Amino acid sequence: MEEEIMTQNTESVSAPDISVVVPLYNEEESLPELEAWIERVMQANGFTYEIIFVNDGSSDSSWHVIKDLAARNPAVHGISFRRNYGKSPALNTGFAKAKGRVVITMDADLQDSPDEIPELYRMIVDERFDLVSGYKQKRYDPLSKTIPTKLFNATARRVSGIKNLHDFNCGLKAYRREVVKHIEVYGDMHRYIPYLAKLAGFSRIGEKVVQHRARKYGKTKFGLDRFVNGYLDLATLWFTGKFGGKPMHFFGLMGSLMFLLGFIAAAIVGTVKLYRMYHGLSYTLVTDSPYFYLALTMMILGSQFFLAGFIGELVARNSPRRNDYEIDETI
């Protein structure tokens, strides 16, 4: 007991006010400018801080630049992946290392402004938000990106039920430390961090209009496939969030409904034939009716859904995390 209190105390003494986590892939030109700017803002506001650069397998000299920056400024830390994994794995790794009371993520390309940091920090600490997402109200991106982005955000708002967010995928976000320690950002899920946070039980999610700047150096790392993958990931999160622990409730219902509809349709086709035959009327073979084939397909698909439900339950039951819950407090 005593030991626990001591470690908690030493941690709170050594933890900086802010951890800035920066995922980057081939951004060598921007890094010195970004680091100097963050340092300036932190000093002007008297924050203690650390910057964690996560080099996502850059093939340019980004990692050397980071090493030079770390040699000059002890607040700079770095993690370097051996190959390019993607922005989500980079963020996840940075989150694991972050010690600050408030964790701020920003892109390395100078599109996000470090001048937003003090206000974001204040919103987390004073207004007690769990997560504050930036909102690039005025964007400096091509139309081919801004229009699909609007659609994407409208869908994300609907599916996630987080109605007050306009810009889920903004790289500039602030979190209370507990949030980043309790979510797992994998695949391309960085687009839905607010949804991940909500699924983990952090529901005080706010938004702040932030300045957006045109990319100064280098080029964007994401193409139009971001929208296709974005929708697929949203479907996955919706499904796992709702039915992850009880897949039969989804597949069982769908399967039963389909099977039942198919069964009723097949029964009607068969009964009509028997009735007409019995009364000496003209009749056609069951297999001549298109409804028969539709009914058959429905019954087969229905059973398949049901079986998928059983398999899903077997997988869920064997998951070591099936009884992992987010416990807020115990006394």
- Per-residue mark of binding to ligand UDP, 129-158 (x: CB under 6 A): ------------------------------
Alpha carbons 223 and 22: distance in angstroms, whole number: 20
Q: What are the Cα distances from residue 191, in Å, to 29, 45, 108?
A: 25, 30, 16
Which span (45-53, 105-113, 198-206, 278-286) binds Mg ion, by CB under 5 A? 105-113
Which of 47, 222 has the CB closer to ligand UDP? 222
**DSSP letters spanning 120-176:** HHHHHHTS--SEEEEE-SS--S-HHHHHHHHHHHHHHHHHH--TT-S-TT-S-EEEE
Among 19, 20, 21, 23, binds ligand UDP (CB under 6 A): 23
- Encoding tokens for residue 240? 């796992």
Using CB under 5 A as the binding rule, whether residue 30 contacts Mg ion is answered as no
- Per-residue mark of binding to ligand UDP, 247-286 (x: CB under 6 A): ----------------------------------------
Site for ligand UDP in 212-231 (CB under 6 A): 220-222
Instruction: Mark out the alpha helices in 209-289 (DSSP H runs).
Output: 225-243, 248-278
- Encoding tokens for residue 277? 């035959």
**Percent helix, strand and coil across the chain, each rounded to 5?**
55, 10, 35
In the list ligand UDP, Mg ion, none, the entry touching 24 (Cβ below 5 to 8 angstroms by class) is ligand UDP
Using CB under 5 A as the binding rule, whether residue 109 contacts Mg ion is answered as yes
Alpha carbons 33 and 27: distance in angstroms, whole number: 11
Which span (22-30, 72-80, 232-240, 322-330) binds ligand UDP, by CB under 6 A? 22-30
Residues that bind ligand UDP (CB under 6 A): 23-25, 27, 56, 84, 86-87, 90, 107-109, 111, 171, 220-222
